[in-house]
Copies of this chain bind each other. A is one copy, B any other.
């Protein structure tokens, strides 16, 4: 290349790294093309929110934080890691990205007030999504905020849209503690009650259904016991995977009721209970009898699929329920059901019916 500095020679604007657009900056460039068009479709879908003082369109948004503190959490969903475009619609992915962040806010005892979203958009939609999927994804974000109990006032106040090889949806959620202390993970004390709000095992059951279908479709297998037995129950489980419903209102209710510790159950009940146990240096003893309704809810599908229903309940992730501990004398707030007790112990961990839970031995006789 001659040293003459032809156009495109490293000067700005020649496609070198650096171009960037934010929601609501659709204020130049020909309309109907590229990111401007995406923004035009997307921004009107976003719920304004009850706490929003300034929404999309400026360098940053402004959100009320009446309490004088703000809860903040961030979580990204990556295509083929956290969702598969073949089995999840863009609406589903938007919903899920919102829901898991709303659950993290609720798990501190806070009311969700606002979301911002950074979206990586490949040049072509991932199969089988269609052009315009970013608008659909925004609709999913909005639907989660509007539909989840306790999240109705949460706005989507801003974001960032950028190119990349793979769909990534990074959501940050803010929340308000309403004058209460945040409910941390490390406050469980011996004698406390262990309680769960929300469902457990259904998302994993729904995922198992989807994965089975995908494998059968790939093998061009025409019939399916699952398909032939398809009923409302199975559809419910698939929906529970695609659109988890964290009980957002239960988080602030737990804080008011004096919860000593709480977290969002995203990685499985035993695994997340183990986090509470280790953070508080206690033992959480879960009761299979108290968890039986969750077992019932996935049993018939588990049988059809040939997976263990108890594994779904105890190890299944992504339901985004809230696991909390309460003083023994507390009245459990609406949405929570007793599932166990906190015990003292030299080795922090999780028991099921008084026995250690693990893949090898202990209570884990069903693996």
Contact = CB atoms under 8 A, between A and B. Distances in A.
Interface of A: 1, 3-5, 9-13, 16-20, 22, 25, 27-28, 53-54, 57-76, 78, 80-84, 100, 103-105, 107-108, 110, 114, 116-118, 120, 157-160, 162-166, 168, 170, 172-175, 177, 182, 184-185, 203-204, 207-212, 215-216, 219, 225, 262-264, 266-268, 271, 274-275, 278-279, 305-308, 311-312, 315-318
A4 B165 CA distance: 37
A314 to B, nearest CB: 10
Given A118-B75, A160-B74, A306-B5, A12 B204 contact: yes
A212 B108 CA distance: 50
A163 B59 contact: no
Given A78-B120, A82-B18, A68 B65 contact: yes
Copies in the complex: 2
A72 to B, nearest CB: 5
Given A13-B315, A75-B22, A66 B68 contact: yes
A48 B105 CA distance: 20
A127 B17 CA distance: 17
Contacts of A184: 54, 58
A-B pairs with lowest CB-CB distance, top 4: A5-B306, A10-B211, A60-B73, A170-B170
A70 B62 contact: yes
Nearest to A251: B59
Contacts of A76: 118, 120, 160, 162, 168, 170
B160 A108 contact: no
Given A20-B267, A61-B71, A172-B172, A306 B182 contact: no
